[in-house]
Amino acid sequence: MMKKNLLLAFGLVAVAAVLFASGNKEVIVSSTDGFGVGDKASDFNLINVDGKKISMSNYESAKGFIIVFTCNTCPFSKMYEKRIDQLNQKYEPKGFPVLAINSNDKSKQPGDSYEEMIKRAKDKNYSFPYLYDESQSVVTAYGATRTPHVYVVSKKSAELVVSYIGAIDDNHKDANAVSKKYVEDAVD
């Protein structure tokens, strides 16, 4: 009888976890691969929509970075575009610029090609670099699994240390209904 109760309890926990995850697709609780909070992050050197290569080492006076894995085609990413731009406008002057990275495979999502990134950045007038991770090496190293997926990286001495991983805030549908600003809390 105890064995049956234990199996039933385990099954209920598993079902609850699946239901929670399916209803909150934009929130990442943890990742099995990639960096975790407290880990040393690796720098990258990716092409921006202006044709120039960008890396975190280009920002000598930065205190850290808000790295956002995003793309042109994801409905959640589209809902957050303005908020990502607002994060950059608020935190770049404070030493935490946004670096947005598109790692989608253009053969699977043609709307996420480098050419389409250039168009979207121009159309939306992004105030932040929009970088192309064509080989998906950066997204793999970081472990981002959905878009938008945010990493706040802080400079500590000469190292880049992950201080936050997750969602931008708690309401993807309505920016006016946000009650928890996860990224802002992490940077502040």
* CATH at 44: 3.40.30.10
Let me know if residue 6 belongs to a domain.
Answer: no
Let me know if residue 137 belongs to a domain.
Answer: yes
Strand partners, 68: 100, 150
Q: How far apart, in whole angstroms, are the C-alpha atoms of residue 35 and residue 149?
A: 13
pLDDT at 22: 35
Angle at 131 between CA 129 and CA 133, to 5 degrees: 165
Let me know if residue 59 belongs to a domain.
Answer: yes
Mean pLDDT computed over 120-129? 97
pLDDT at 28: 33
Could you read off the pLDDT of 7-19 as tens digits, one per residue? 433 333 333 333 3
Let me know if residue 20 belongs to a domain.
Answer: no
Higher-confidence residue of 29 and 127: namely 127
134-151 residues labelled b (16+ CB within 10 A) or e (exposed): beeebbeebbbeebbbbb
pLDDT over threshold 80, residue 104: yes
pLDDT at 11: 39
pLDDT band with cut points at 50, 70 and 90 for residue 48: very high
Let me know if residue 13 belongs to a domain.
Answer: no
Could you read off the pLDDT of 133-170 as tens digits, one per residue? 999 999 999 999 999 999 999 999 889 999 999 999 99
Nearest to 101 by CA among 134, 138, 131: 131
Let me know if residue 90 belongs to a domain.
Answer: yes
Q: Which amino acid is at 176?
A: N
Q: How far apart, in whole angstroms, are the C-alpha atoms of residue 150 and residue 175?
A: 17
Asked if residues 59 and 168 have their Cβ atoms less than 8 Å apart, the reply is: no
pLDDT band with cut points at 50, 70 and 90 for residue 25: very low
What DSSP designation does 158 have? Answer: T
What domain range includes position 135? 29-187
pLDDT over threshold 50, residue 68: yes
Q: How deeply is 78 buried, as exposed, middle or buried, from its count of CB atoms within 10 A (0-12, 13-18, 19+)?
A: middle
* Count of domains observed in the chain: 1
pLDDT over threshold 70, residue 69: yes
pLDDT band with cut points at 50, 70 and 90 for residue 21: very low
Let me know if residue 50 belongs to a domain.
Answer: yes
Q: How far apart, in whole angstroms, are the C-alpha atoms of residue 80 and residue 84?
A: 6
pLDDT at 77: 95
pLDDT over threshold 80, residue 106: yes
pLDDT over threshold 80, residue 183: yes
Let me know if residue 119 belongs to a domain.
Answer: yes
pLDDT at 158: 84
